[in-house]
Amino acid sequence: MRRLAAFRVAAALAWLVGASFVAGTAVADVHAAPHPIPAGAAPAAVETFEPSAAKLAAVSSVDRHAAELTQLSDRIWAYAEIALREHKSAAALADFAEKKGFRVQRGVAGMPTAFVATYGQGRPVIGVMGEYDALPGLSQQAVAEKKPLAAGAGGHGCGHNLFGAGSLGAAIAIKEQIAAGKLKGTVVFFGTPAEEDVGGKIYMARDGFFDGVDAVLAWHPEDYTQADLTSSQAMVDIAVEFHGKAAHAAYDPWNARSAVDALELFTHGLNLMREHVRPTSRMHYTIAAGGDVPNVVAEYAKVWLWLRDWQRSEVEDLLVRVRKLAEGAAVMTETTGTVTVQTGSWEMLVNEPGARLLYANLLWIGPAAYTEQEQAFARQIQRSTGVPEVGMFAGVRPLEGQKAEGGSTDVADVSWVAPTLHVSIATSPQGAPWHAWPVVASGGMSIGHKGMVRAAKVLAATMVDLYEQPAALAAVKADFKAKKGEVVYKPYVPDGPPPLPKD
């Protein structure tokens, strides 16, 4: 998940099939926190099925392309390009799609690294999303100890190299079935950049790229495997800025009005407010500007703040209160204050019939088979990061959801525009830190590759269901329609392209 997200933590409950699990990270209290996301996701009876010819063919297509997909993933892993700079990574995926017969539209929604690859015609239109941005400073070799590849460089600490290549593998598997006349309709691969930063999907959703898509799928690398019934946190990313007047801090301080004073009053107010917000709310900030030297009274100060909750309405309420805090701080210090919403994402609209399809296909495809060397690699990472040495999670968690994890994703914005199905696939050792070197290490070797291939198969098999079973697609769409209700999606991002890096 992206910078907006900063999560993907080990889960605290032993919802396992076929593997042992030991809970225990510092975030267990977060998991236990109550939150008001929809109830009613009782474990469902999942029907077993006889796979259709198209499903068998789609899954064997993934196997046939596994070596190429692995190579593609490893290239993106090695590029390790961060948000909106992922030029080589986006080109690698787009070129690969084009080579496989997709029509590719590059540089969409004002982002040079966003693209859409389409094959086929008519309905249904089934999409699958891929990500490929890395995280700064996480460079790491594919070894079981902390060892940067190039100190200070980026690294795939969220496994997006696997996410992009695996999703494209699923799209290609479907394309081949359409080409062979086994499936009818259109398949779309969405190349979605900057998940860890501005949230490329938000801009693509804003600009209508998901309009008219019957259903769209995504997966995410994880330390467990499960069809997701869990929502995500809505969030807003805001800049709170204060402008005062500079003067010599000793010679004529009476001529000055300090922006840093305003900043301090603002953050003090925010921290007192913590006691009077819902337990589900999260408020975290950094001081982005706080003056330069002590002997110049600061005329400018800036707080970079994120507000989150499981419900967008709570986030909106927090935003109103934060505006008052900024106003009050400015009044007290005779400065001026501004609050600017920079970006934000909605909470995920969970699709239950879609999760059931994913779950049934997860069970059909079966558990991951790790070698003893892979399990030893995982245990070594666990040992060196101080988490229980339980190795990889190979099984499938039951279809249960609604546990409270913290984090936000731009996938959630898409979920308000088109029915969105989401699955988590194990690519990293259980409990080991996320957005950290263990994810980079395992995403660049066979553990990650196996997760990517498994993800491609589950996505492809579920997409086949949506093409072949009109009733299943209708249920997915009806669930979306019922949950969305009368709400009109309105993204938090302003008009125009996101701020692009200048160099």
Instruction: Return the residues of window 148-187 that contact Zn ion according to CB under 5 A.
Output: 158
Least CB distance from residue 317 to Zn ion, whole Å? 28
Least CB distance from residue 131 to Zn ion, whole Å? 6
Looking at beta carbons only, is 158 or 325 nearer to Zn ion?
158
Looking at beta carbons only, is 1 or 464 nearer to Zn ion?
1
Question: Could you identify the residue written with the tokens 């060397």?
Answer: 373
Least CB distance from residue 8 to Zn ion, whole Å? 6
Q: Is the dihedral of CA 493, 497, 502, 503 positive or negative?
A: positive
* Nearest residue to the partner Zn ion, using Cβ: 158
Vertex 342: Cα angle to 339 and 344 (nearest 5) = 115
Q: What is the dihedral of CA 199, 201, 206, 209, to 10 degrees?
A: 160
For residues 182 and 178, what is the distance between their CA atoms, to the nearest angstrom?
A: 6
Count residues near Zn ion (CB under 5 A): 2
DSSP symbol at 117: E
250: its two tokens:
């000793």
In whole angstroms, how far apart are CA 481 and each of 128, 185, 325, 350, 461? 20, 22, 38, 11, 24
Report the DSSP pairing between strands 186-191 and 125-130. Answer: parallel
For residues 117 and 187, what is the distance between their CA atoms, to the nearest angstrom?
A: 8
Least CB distance from residue 199 to Zn ion, whole Å? 11
Looking at beta carbons only, is 1 or 381 nearer to Zn ion?
1
DSSP symbol at 183: S
Fill in the amino acid letter for 95.
D
Of 1-9, 44-52, 419-427, 432-440, the segment contacting Zn ion by CB under 5 A is: 1-9
Looking at beta carbons only, is 3 or 397 nearer to Zn ion?
3
> Would you give the binding string for Zn ion spanning residues 114-153, x where CB under 5 A is met?
----------------------------------------
Looking at beta carbons only, is 89 or 333 nearer to Zn ion?
89
Least CB distance from residue 47 to Zn ion, whole Å? 31
Cα 317 to chain centroid distance, Å, stands at 24
For residues 193 and 134, what is the distance between their CA atoms, to the nearest angstrom?
A: 10
For residues 233 and 237, what is the distance between their CA atoms, to the nearest angstrom?
A: 13
Looking at beta carbons only, is 158 or 215 nearer to Zn ion?
158
Least CB distance from residue 76 to Zn ion, whole Å? 13
Least CB distance from residue 298 to Zn ion, whole Å? 36
Note whether 1 binds Zn ion by CB under 5 A: yes
Instruction: Return the residues of window 470-489 that contact Zn ion according to CB under 5 A.
Output: none
For residues 404 and 51, what is the distance between their CA atoms, to the nearest angstrom?
A: 34
Taking residue 284's Cβ as centre, other Cβ atoms within 10 Å add up to 12
Looking at beta carbons only, is 124 or 159 nearer to Zn ion?
159
Looking at beta carbons only, is 1 or 349 nearer to Zn ion?
1
Give me the helices (H) in 80-220, please: 87-99, 160-179, 200-206
Least CB distance from residue 30 to Zn ion, whole Å? 18
Least CB distance from residue 244 to Zn ion, whole Å? 39
For residues 429 and 442, what is the distance between their CA atoms, to the nearest angstrom?
A: 8
14: its two tokens:
């032993």
Least CB distance from residue 6 to Zn ion, whole Å? 10
Least CB distance from residue 220 to Zn ion, whole Å? 6
For residues 171 and 463, what is the distance between their CA atoms, to the nearest angstrom?
A: 9
Question: Could you identify the residue written with the tokens 């029915």?
Answer: 419
State the DSSP H helix or E strand holding residue 417, giving kind and residue range, or none if neither. Answer: none
Looking at beta carbons only, is 407 or 498 nearer to Zn ion?
407
Q: What DSSP string describes 254-280?
A: GG-B-HHHHHHHHHHHHHHHGGGS-TT
> Would you give the binding string for Zn ion spanning residues 259-288, x where CB under 5 A is met?
------------------------------
Q: Is 303 helix (H, G, I), strand (E, B) or coil?
A: strand
Least CB distance from residue 7 to Zn ion, whole Å? 9
Least CB distance from residue 365 to Zn ion, whole Å? 22
For residues 189 and 181, what is the distance between their CA atoms, to the nearest angstrom?
A: 19
Looking at beta carbons only, is 1 or 84 nearer to Zn ion?
1
Looking at beta carbons only, is 458 or 464 nearer to Zn ion?
458
Q: What DSSP string describes 326-338?
A: HHHHHHHHT-EEE
Report phi then psi at 359, rounded to 5. -65, -45
Looking at beta carbons only, is 158 or 436 nearer to Zn ion?
158
Looking at beta carbons only, is 82 or 263 nearer to Zn ion?
82
Chain positions contacting Zn ion, by CB under 5 A: 1, 158
